[in-house]
Amino acid sequence: MPELPEVETIKNELLPRVIGRFFARVTIIDPKVLRQPSVDEFCRKIVGQTVSSLKRQGKYLVFQLSSGKALIIHLKMTGALLLNPEQHSRHARALFQLDDGNQLILIDRRRLGAMWLVRDEATIIGKLGPEPLTTDFTAEIMASRLRGRQAPIKAVLLDQGFVAGIGNMYADEALFAARIHPLRKVNSLSSQEVQSLYHSIQDVLWSAIRDKGASIDTYVRPDGELGTAHFSFRVAHHRGELCPLCGTPIQRLPIRNRGTYFCPNCQKLS
C-alpha cells in the first residue's frame, strides 16, 4: 500500500528513466483507471509529449509534460508502476511506450488506482495539506493546524488535508513511537505530546524512505525490487505479536474502518 515513502521511492527511481523522454505510444487496457479525459482524448494529447519533470505530492505522482499538461497518477492500495517487467501481468491497466524503447506499465490488482491528464494540477491535488518533510510542516505549524480539532489523532493523521502522505501504516508507527494512543482526542494532547508526535512522524517517514518503502502486500519498485521498511515496523501489521518494548500483545482496533495497531501498555488512553 503505497504511502509517502513508497511513492517517493517510485518517483526517485523513475526519474532518471523518464525525464526528457517522450511517449511514443499509450494503451489504456482498463478505462476505469482513467478518470479524465476520455480514452481517445487522453491518448491523442499524451502521445508525443515529453516529460519535463516528475514530482511526488502526498501520495500522488505528477508528470509535467511539455504541452503544459500534467499526467497525475494515484496508486491507491495495490497500484504499481513497472519498467519493462519480465512477465505480463493480468492486472496491467495501462501501457506507456517511451521513445527509447522502455515501457512503463501501470498494474493494479484492485482497480482502485486513478490517472488524470489535466492542465491545472491543482484541480486534483490542490486540497492536499503541507508536505510533512519540508519546512511547510514544522512542529509549530502542526500544532496550529491541530488547534480546534477534537477527532481521534489517528483519524487526523490520515486526513490528507491536514498533512499529505501519511497512511495507515505510518500513522500507527508514528503514534507508537510517540507513545500516544490512536484514539486520543486531538484537543487532549499536551504540547509535549504534539512535539513528540511531530518528531516521530519525521523519523518514521525518513527511515522508510531510506529503506525504499515497505513491501507489505503488493508494493514493488519500478525495477521489481522490494523495499525493506516493513522490517522496522514495530506495531503496524503485527497483529497477535508482542510489543517490542514491553512484551504486551499488540492490539487491533478499527478506527474509521481502518485496522489500527497499537500497544495498550505503551500507548495509554488516559
Partner DNA sequence: CTTGGGACCTGGCTGC
Partner DNA sequence: TGCAGCCAGGTCCCAA
Q: Would you name the residues annotated as active-site residues?
A: 2-3, 59, 258
Cβ 179 to DNA shortest distance, Å: 20
Q: Which stretch binds DNA (CB under 7 A): 12-20, 40-48, 110-118, 191-199?
A: 110-118
Determine the residue type at 185.
K
The DSSP output letter for 37 is S
What's the 3-state SS for 132-182? CCCCCCCHHHHHHHHCCCCCEHHHHHCCCCCCCCCCHHHHHHHHHHCCCCC
- Separation in Å, CA 93 to CA 27, 89, 163, 220: 9, 9, 29, 16
Q: Which stretch binds DNA (CB under 7 A): 9-17, 107-115, 200-208, 226-234?
A: 107-115
Tell me whether residue 65 or residue 155 sits nearer to DNA (CB atom). Answer: 155
Of 35 and 179, the one with the shorter C-beta distance to DNA is 35
Residue whose CB is less far from DNA, 6 or 98: 6
Stretch 86-105 residues interacting with DNA (CB under 7 A): 90-91
CA angle (5, 31, 129) in 5-degree steps: 35
Please say which residue, 2 or 17, places its beta carbon nearer to DNA: 2
Rounded Cα distance, 247 and 209, in Å: 28
**Judged by CB under 7 A, which of 67, 97, 103, 160 binds DNA?**
160
Pattern 45-84, DNA, x by CB under 7 A: -------------xxx-------------x-xx-------
Contact of 230 with 237, CB cutoff 8 Å? yes
- Sole residue written with cell 501489521: 237
Please give the C-alpha separations between residue 190 and each of 49, 76, 154, 163, in angstroms, as whole numbers. Answer: 51, 33, 16, 19
- Residues at the site binding DNA, with contacts judged by CB under 7 A: 1, 3, 32, 58-60, 74, 76-77, 90-91, 109-112, 124, 127, 148-152, 155-156, 158, 160, 167-169, 186, 236-237, 239, 252, 254, 256-259
